[in-house]
Amino acid sequence: MRFRDAALAKRVAEKIRKAAPSKDIVKICHVCGTHEWTITHYGIRSLLPENVEVIAGPGCPVCIVPASEIDEAIELALNGATVTCFGDLLRVPGSRLSLLDARAEGADVRVVYSVADAVKMARREPEKRFVFFAVGFETTAPSTAVEILKVPPENMSFLISHRLIPPAMKALVEMEDLNLNGFIAPGHVSTIIGMKPYEVFPRDYGMPTIIAGFEPLDVLFAIYMIIKQLIKGKPQLENEYVRAVLPEGNVRAQKLMREAFKVENGRWRGLQTIPKSVLTLRDKYKKYDSRRKYDLQVECSVDVPPGCRCHLVIVGKIKPTECPLFMKACTPRRPIGPCMVSMEGTCRIWAGTIRP
């Protein structure tokens, strides 16, 4: 199948219009930056009936890192550690500075393309203290786990900021003012975790949940499948992305994550504390844990800069255009909030197609 076939997309959109309830609002939430890019770039919202709304949830891994954890990385960098991270993290604001600001002040902050690159640097420069700032959802956590289990050099540690998507979805469902009717589950995350973690949503919350790929037709099919379930009154979990997602997921990657990490309660920018949603290193690997190794203590932090509404954009309560700073004080060249920094941030995606 050609998943960008415009004629087929129009036919599916017509099926959505015919199947959708005529009056009731249908609010569907996705939790993936790539889904938001597809929806925005291909104008999928313009194909839907006015009462069918697709909102973006916390699907940007960089955007939901709380300022306190950015502050930890900056503290390490300003105190002599070499902090390595992915490029998206450089400009994400902490309470006072970003890692890019810290680098401008003389800190050794380096962009890497993989955690393996950071480990190689540490081996090449044994006289320096290296830290890898490990950010991401279930998609990237196995790569971090692999390097920890392979026994990195003594001068290497990890500032773990990995988070889990299903607990965040549960937090969204339980927000009374969101009034969600269905979920589009993220394809990349699902290749790792499979289908089982999503079973709770149709079973306990009556929430149709569709695992979807990233092409325009993937998203349209997912919306149509959700609406059909709502009309029938039979919510269930379905896998639209069968070409990539196995029911059991990637069992080997799951095993690596269980070996290296334990699951704890933790804060998300925009969502505060979510039970059982963050990964931390198991005690047997504590010597590689930057927080324990350097006794990091960030006393207070500021997640949301004055005037910024990223915390509301992250959970889909407002659109980027409803933030007073969007494309005025806050632009891709001069981002104020994290949603405008990352290529997966909702504001950054909208900025590519919407002008003030």
In Å, what is the CA distance from 81 to each residue of 84, 96, 101, 180? 9, 19, 15, 44
Q: What is the pLDDT of residues 91-131, one digit of tens each?
A: 999 999 999 999 999 999 999 999 999 999 999 999 999 99
The residue count for the chain: 356
In the CATH scheme, what architecture does the domain 67-164+249-293 have? Answer: 3-Layer(aba) Sandwich (3.40)
pLDDT at 355 > cutoff 60: no
Q: How many CB atoms neighbour CB 186 within 10 A?
A: 28
Average pLDDT estimate for 151-167: 98
SS3 223: helix
- Domain positions in the chain are 6-32+49-59+176-239, 67-164+249-293
Closest C-alpha among 254, 252, 256 to residue 145: 256
**Record: fold of 6-32+49-59+176-239:** Rossmann fold (3.40.50)
Residues above pLDDT 90, as percent of the chain: 91
Distance, in Å, from the CA atom of 315 to the CA atom of 76, rounded to the nearest integer, reads: 30
Contact 189, 142 (CB under 8 A): no
pTM: 0.95
Q: How do strand 109-111 and strand 82-85 relate by DSSP bridges?
A: parallel
Residues 32-78 have pLDDT tens digits of 999 999 999 999 999 999 999 999 999 999 999 999 999 999 999 99
Backbone angles phi, psi at 20, to 5 degrees: -65, 145
Task: Report the pLDDT value the prediction gives residue 354, as an integer from 0 to 100.
Answer: 67
Compute the Cα dihedral for 110, 112, 115, 121 and give only its sign: negative
Which residue shows structure tokens 């092409």?
Answer: 215
Cα angle: 16, vertex 18, 19; to 5 degrees: 65
pLDDT at 297 over 90: no
Backbone angles phi, psi at 102, to 5 degrees: -60, -40
67-164+249-293 shares the fold of 6-32+49-59+176-239: yes
**pLDDT tier at 168 (50, 70, 90 boundaries)?**
very high
